[in-house]
Amino acid sequence: MSTTLERWEPVIGLEVHVQLGTATKMFCGCRNLFGAPPNALTCPVCLGLPGALPVPNRRAAELAIRFGLAVGGTIAEVTRFDRKQYFYPDLPKGYQISQDKGPIVTGGTVTTSFFGDGKTIRLIRAHLEEDAGKGQHEESGGSTLVDLNRCGIPLLEIVSAPDLRSAEDAWAYLNELRLTLRTLDISECDMEKGSLRCDVNVSIRPRGTTPFGDRVELKNLNSFRGVERAIRHEIERQAALLEAGGKVELETRLWDDEKGESRLMRKKESAPDYRYFPDPDLPPFAVGRAWVDRVAAEAPELPLKRLERYTSVYGLSDYDAKVLITDPSICRYFEETTALCNDPKNAANWITSELFGLMKGGVSIDDVKVRPTHIAELVALVKDGTLNVRSAREVLAKQYEDPRPAKEWVEKLGLVQVSDRDALVAIVKKGMEMNPKAVADLKAGKEKAAGAIVGYAMKETKGRGNPAILNEILAELLKTF
Amino acid sequence: MTGPLPLKAIADSVRSGARTSVDVATEYLDRIERGAALGAFLAVDRARTLAEAAAVDARVARGEALPLAGVPVAVKDNIHAVGFTTTCASRMLEGFRPPFDATVVEKLRAAGAVVLGKTNLDEFAMGSSTENSAYLVCRNPWATDRIPGGSSGGSAAAVAANLAPAALGSDTGGSIRQPAALTGTVGLKPTYGRVSRFGLVAFGSSLDQVGPMTRRVEDAAMLHDVLSGHDPKDATTSARPHAPTAPHVGDGVRGLRIGLPDEYFGDAVDSEIRASVESAGRALEAAGAVLKRVSLPHTPHAIPTYYIVATSEASSNLARYDGVHYGRRHPEAVDIASLFTGSRSAYLGKEVKRRILLGTWCLSSGFYDAFYDRALRIRSLLKADFDAAFRDVDLVLCPTTPTPAWRLGEKISDPVQMYVADILTGACNLAGIPGLVVPCGTTGQKDTRLPIGAQLLGPAWSESLLLRAGAVIEAACWDPSFVPSFGSAS
Q: How far apart are CA B410 and CA B129, in angstroms?
A: 10
Helix ranges, B364-410 (H)? 374-392
A259 membership: H or E segment, kind and range: none
Tell me which residues of B are annotated as active site: 76, 151, 175
**pLDDT digit string, tens, across residues B53-93:** 999 999 999 999 999 999 999 999 999 999 999 999 999 99
Q: How far apart are CA B159 and CA B178, in angstroms?
A: 14
Give me the number of domains chain B comprises: 1
Which of B316, B328, B336 to mutate to test binding with chain A, by most A CBs within 10 Å of its CB?
A: B316
The C-alpha of A281 sits at a distance from chain B's nearest C-alpha, in angstroms, of 6
Cα separations in angstroms, A58 against A23, A24, A67, B183: 11, 10, 14, 46
Cβ–Cβ of B324/A89 closer than 8 Å?
A: yes
A53 touches chain B (CB under 8 A): yes
- At a CB cut-off of 8 Å and minimum separation 6, what does B30 contact? none
Cβ–Cβ of A55/B233 closer than 8 Å?
A: yes
Confidence at residue B487, expressed as pLDDT on a 0 to 100 scale: 56
**pLDDT digit string, tens, across residues B141-188:** 999 999 999 999 999 999 999 999 999 999 999 999 999 999 999 999
Strand partners, B75: B118, B168
B202 touches chain A (CB under 8 A): yes
The C-alpha of A67 sits at a distance from chain B's nearest C-alpha, in angstroms, of 25
Cβ–Cβ of A283/B236 closer than 8 Å?
A: yes
Count of Cβ atoms closer than 10 Å to residue A411 Cβ: 11
B192: nearest Cα among B416, B442, B433, B14:
B433
Chain B CB contacts of A96 under 8 Å are: none
A88 burial (CB, 10 Å; 0-12 / 13-18 / 19+) is middle
Cβ–Cβ of B98/A51 closer than 8 Å?
A: yes
Residue B232 lies in a domain: yes
Buried b (16+ CB within 10 A) or exposed e, B35-46: beebbbbbbbbe
B236 touches chain A (CB under 8 A): yes
Q: Which residue of A has its CA nearest to B93?
A: A50
Q: Which residue of A has its CA nearest to B81?
A: A51
Which of A135-149, A208-222, B209-223, B317-331 has the least mean pLDDT?
A135-149
Size of interface A-B (CB pairs under 8 A): 99
Q: How far apart are CA A169 and CA A14, in angstroms?
A: 11
C-alpha count within 13 angstroms, C-beta hemisphere, residue B179: 45
Query: Smallest Cβ distance to A94: which of B79, B320, B326?
Result: B320
The C-alpha of B98 sits at a distance from chain A's nearest C-alpha, in angstroms, of 8
In angstroms, the first-to-last Cα distance of chain A is 69
A277 touches chain B (CB under 8 A): yes
Residue B379 lies in a domain: no
DSSP helix/strand/coil, A299: coil
DSSP helix/strand/coil, A464: coil
**A353 cis-preceded (ω within 30 degrees of 0):** no
- Structural contact between residues A343 and A383, judged by C-beta atoms closer than 8 angstroms: yes
Query: Smallest Cβ distance to A281: which of B205, B319, B363?
Result: B205
* Residue B490 pLDDT exceeds 80: no
Strands of B227-341 (E only): list them. 257-261, 290-294
The C-alpha of A273 sits at a distance from chain B's nearest C-alpha, in angstroms, of 6
- At a CB cut-off of 8 Å and minimum separation 6, what does A56 contact? A26, A27, A81, A282, A285, B235
Buried b (16+ CB within 10 A) or exposed e, B376-406: bebbeebbebbeebbeebbbbbbbbbbbbbb
Cβ–Cβ of B235/A54 closer than 8 Å?
A: yes
Cβ–Cβ of A277/B363 closer than 8 Å?
A: yes
A29 touches chain B (CB under 8 A): no
Q: What is the ipTM of this complex?
A: 0.95
* Residue B297 pLDDT exceeds 80: yes
- Structural contact between residues A69 and A299, judged by C-beta atoms closer than 8 angstroms: yes
Query: Smallest Cβ distance to B319: which of A95, A282, A283?
Result: A95
Cβ–Cβ of A275/B363 closer than 8 Å?
A: yes
Q: How far apart are CA A418 and CA B419, in angstroms?
A: 99
Q: How far apart are CA B212 and CA A95, in angstroms?
A: 31
DSSP helix/strand/coil, B259: strand
Phi and psi, residue B214, nearest 5°: -140, 175
Confidence at residue B459, expressed as pLDDT on a 0 to 100 scale: 98
Q: Domains (ranges, CATH) in chain A?
A: 3-289 (no CATH), 301-413 (no CATH), 421-480 (1.10.10.410)
- Structural contact between residues A30 and A41, judged by C-beta atoms closer than 8 angstroms: yes
* Residue B47 pLDDT exceeds 80: yes
Chain B CB contacts of A283 under 8 Å are: 235-236
Q: How far apart are CA A450 and CA A454, in angstroms?
A: 6
The C-alpha of A365 sits at a distance from chain B's nearest C-alpha, in angstroms, of 41
Query: Smallest Cβ distance to B312: which of A53, A277, A281?
Result: A277
B2 pLDDT band, cuts 50/70/90, is low
- β-pairing verdict for A277-278 and B72-76: unpaired
Task: Label residue A118 left, alpha or beta by phi (over 0 means left) and psi (-120 to 50 means alpha).
Answer: left
Which of A28, A80, A98, A281 to mutate to test binding with chain B, by most B CBs within 10 Å of its CB?
A: A281
Chain B CB contacts of A281 under 8 Å are: 202, 205, 234-236
B325 touches chain A (CB under 8 A): yes
Q: Which residue of A has its CA nearest to B79?
A: A51
Chain A CB contacts of B86 under 8 Å are: 50-51
Cβ–Cβ of A51/B80 closer than 8 Å?
A: yes
* DSSP state letters, A177-227: HHHHHHHTTS----GGGTSEEEEEEEEEEETT--S----EEEEEE-SHHHH
Amino acid occupying residue B57: D
Confidence at residue B334, expressed as pLDDT on a 0 to 100 scale: 87
Which of B233, B312, B357, B362 to mutate to test binding with chain A, by most A CBs within 10 Å of its CB?
A: B233
Residue B333 lies in a domain: no
Strand ranges of the sheet holding A82-85, from the earlier edge strand across to the other edge: A95-98, A82-85, A277-278
The C-alpha of B102 sits at a distance from chain A's nearest C-alpha, in angstroms, of 8
- β-pairing verdict for A82-85 and B114-119: unpaired
Cβ–Cβ of A283/B235 closer than 8 Å?
A: yes
Strand ranges of the sheet holding B209-214, from the earlier edge strand across to the other edge: B41-43, B114-119, B72-76, B166-171, B209-214, B186-189, B435-442, B451-457, B395-399, B257-261, B290-294
Q: How far apart are CA A382 and CA A167, in angstroms?
A: 47
Confidence at residue B447, expressed as pLDDT on a 0 to 100 scale: 66
Residue B12 lies in a domain: yes
Cβ–Cβ of B86/A51 closer than 8 Å?
A: yes
Q: What is the dihedral of CA B334, B340, B346, B351, to 10 degrees?
A: -170
B461 touches chain A (CB under 8 A): no
Cβ–Cβ of A95/B316 closer than 8 Å?
A: yes
- β-pairing verdict for B166-171 and B72-76: parallel
Q: How far apart are CA B78 and CA B203, in angstroms?
A: 10
Query: Smallest Cβ distance to B205: which of A55, A88, A280?
Result: A280
Q: How far apart are CA A57 and CA A54, in angstroms?
A: 9
- β-pairing verdict for A8-19 and A196-206: antiparallel
The CATH number covering residue B79 comes to 3.90.1300.10
Residue B106 lies in a domain: yes
* Residue B489 pLDDT exceeds 60: no
Residue B316 lies in a domain: no
Q: Which residue of A has its CA nearest to B360?
A: A275
- Structural contact between residues A399 and A370, judged by C-beta atoms closer than 8 angstroms: yes
Residue B292 lies in a domain: no
Give A 74-113 residues with CB within 8 A of chain B.
83, 85, 87-89, 92-95
Residue ranges in chain A whose pLDDT is less than 50 = none
Cβ–Cβ of B320/A92 closer than 8 Å?
A: yes
C-alpha Rg value of chain B to the nearest Å: 21
Cα separations in angstroms, A236 against A4, A434, B284: 7, 73, 82
Confidence at residue A140, expressed as pLDDT on a 0 to 100 scale: 67
DSSP A381: H
A141 touches chain B (CB under 8 A): no
Question: pTM for the complete prediction?
Answer: 0.91
Range of the domain at B16: 7-250
Amino acid occupying residue A143: S
A281 touches chain B (CB under 8 A): yes
Residue B189 lies in a domain: yes
Which of B85, B201, B207, B320 to mutate to test binding with chain A, by most A CBs within 10 Å of its CB?
A: B320
* Residue B36 pLDDT exceeds 60: yes
